[in-house]
Amino acid sequence: MKKTAKYLALALLCLNFRQNATAQDNLTIQPIRVGDKLPASFWTQPHQIYHNGKTTTQTLEAYKGKLLILDFWATWCSSCIVKFASTDSLQKIYGDRLAVILVNAKNTSDTPERTAKTMKRFNDELITVTGDTILTKLFPHRVIPHYVWIQSGQLRSITGSELMTEQSILASMERREILDKKREQRLKKVGKK
């Protein structure tokens, strides 16, 4: 009797585990809209990152305090690749205030070898997510290049390549500084009352 009860309990646990695994497998990722706050999982989700000739697993947490621009691209997209030199220059101009992360989606059918060959043309200085399936669902698009601007934990803008300029980046950073100063002033006023 006790042996039968143990087997029954074990069978129920296995069934419950399989149902939970199936529920997790079927979770849908909801697209993020301009103005939405990013979920905490956005920063902690691991991605395959290619940089300096190596592929590692990393999160985007290191870029949380910067203007983060996700640049969706493919090795067969010449208009994407043409912008890489400009992207690299912008990275150097703004240093720690800006992070541009290239995103190469799995649905582009690019191989790790093709991605690496393309990155080597830029001395491996640019950083790219490879084989992405998550970011593509969070920020759906039909055309590349596709740029997603994230600042202060919020989706600020989605643009084409025409706004990937020094002027646009500077304007975004200045606007954020003004808003942060106004917020600090409001908090000081509330604190005095």
Q: What is the CATH number for 50?
A: 3.40.30.10
Residue 12: the pLDDT is 40
Quick check: is 177 in a domain? yes
Residue with the bigger pLDDT between 188 and 17: it is: 188
Q: How far is CA 156 from the centre of its chain?
A: 13
Residue 115: the pLDDT is 92
| Length reported for the chain | 193
Looking at residue 115, the DSSP 8-state letter turns out to be H
Quick check: is 147 in a domain? yes
Quick check: is 14 in a domain? no
Q: How many CB atoms lie within 10 A of CB 163?
A: 16
Q: Could you give the number of structural domains in the chain? A: 1
Residue range 147-193, pLDDT digits in tens: 999 998 999 999 998 989 999 999 988 888 888 788 788 887 877 65
Residue 110: the pLDDT is 93
Residue 158: which domain range?
27-192
Quick check: is 168 in a domain? yes
Quick check: is 36 in a domain? yes
Average pLDDT estimate for 8-24: 40
Residue range 70-127, pLDDT digits in tens: 999 999 999 999 999 899 899 899 989 999 999 999 999 999 899 999 998 877 689 9
Quick check: is 87 in a domain? yes
Quick check: is 12 in a domain? no
Q: Is the Cβ–Cβ distance between 32 and 141 less than 8 Å?
A: no
Confidence of residue 39 (pLDDT cuts 50, 70, 90): very high
Buried b (16+ CB within 10 A) or exposed e, 35-61: eeebeeebbeeebbbbbeeeeeeeebe
How confident is the prediction for the chain on average, in pLDDT? 84
pLDDT of 44 > 90? The answer is: yes
Quick check: is 39 in a domain? yes
The alpha carbon torsion through 136, 141, 144, 148 (nearest 10 deg) reads -70
CB neighbour class for 105 (10 Å; exposed up to 12, middle 13-18, buried from 19) = buried
pTM of the model: 0.79
